[in-house]
């Protein structure tokens, strides 16, 4: 056998020997094992990783104990994306970048965060003079979590703030005086004790029709 062929075989054997493994456990915000969470491994060769995916290397699902394991990974830098898809079409996606895999066993555990799956401002229009302008925020939280949600309304011009709280999927309504300008709306979800996580900020303007 030629020396070049032996060298190629040697490199292949070294690469095979150096392949790594990534494993971990995915749990809910409350410590329960998350079954059938999609775990996707992507190449992450650049300094930045966003929604523009490069190349998916492999995809697997967590088992009933929330455990996943990916074997045969060529050493390098990757991004790992966790997707929790539910029957009610809600989805929690978390991406971890710059995950370095060497020729051994690596661990990456993930605790999913409670998160609104859909919310946004609905500008409710009424005939002029019939009602004060109002903003309605449509909240849709994960059916299994029922996380306490706080909505903060701030009139940008005056800095005046008001709050609404809800535990359920609901529409939160806030009225404003006629002529109110832009309003900043912040949506928070309760983590524990007095800790709140900001999950969305947007600006809207209440108005009425003529």
Domains 21-111 and 118-204 share a fold: yes
The ranges assigned to domains in the chain are 21-111, 118-204
Strand order in the sheet with 118-124: 118-124, 134-140, 170-175
134: tokens are: 């109002």
Average pLDDT, the chain: 77
What was the pLDDT predicted at 51?
45
Measured CA to CA, the distance from residue 96 to residue 178 in angstroms comes to 46
Task: Say if CB 136 and CB 173 are below 8 A apart.
Answer: yes
Q: Which residue has the tokens 């060497």?
A: 102
What was the pLDDT predicted at 45?
53
Q: The pTM is what?
A: 0.50
Task: Say if CB 116 and CB 187 are below 8 A apart.
Answer: yes
Task: Say if CB 133 and CB 176 are below 8 A apart.
Answer: yes
Nearest to 118 by CA among 198, 199, 51, 192: 199
Query: Could you tell me which CATH number the domain at 118-204 has?
Result: 2.60.40.10
**For 21-111, which CATH class?**
mainly beta
19-59 pLDDT, tens digit per residue, is 899 999 998 776 788 888 999 998 865 544 444 556 788 99
């Amino acid at each position: 056998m030629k020396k070049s062929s032996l060298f190629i075989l040697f490199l292949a054997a070294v690469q095979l020997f150096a392949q790594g493994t990534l494993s971990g456990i995915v749990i809910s915000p409350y410590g329960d094992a998350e079954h059938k969470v999609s775990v996707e491994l992507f190449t992450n060769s650049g300094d930045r990783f966003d929604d523009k995916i490069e190349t998916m290397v492999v995809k697997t699902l967590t088992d009933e104990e929330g455990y996943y394991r990916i074997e045969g990974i060529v050493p390098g830098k990757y991004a790992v994306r966790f997707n929790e898809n539910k029957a009610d079409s809600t989805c929690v996606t978390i991406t971890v970048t710059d995950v370095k895999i060497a020729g051994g066993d690596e661990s990456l555990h993930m605790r999913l965060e409670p998160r609104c799956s859909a919310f946004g401002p609905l500008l409710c229009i009424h005939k002029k003079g019939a009602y004060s302008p109002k903003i309605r925020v449509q909240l849709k939280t994960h059916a299994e979590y029922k996380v306490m949600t706080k909505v903060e309304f701030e009139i940008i011009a005056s800095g005046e703030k008001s709050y609404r709280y809800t535990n359920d999927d609901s529409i939160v309504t806030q009225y404003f005086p006629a002529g109110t300008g832009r309003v900043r709306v912040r949506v928070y979800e309760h983590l524990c004790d007095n800790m709140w996580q900001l999950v969305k900020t947007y600006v809207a303007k209440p108005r009425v029709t003529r």
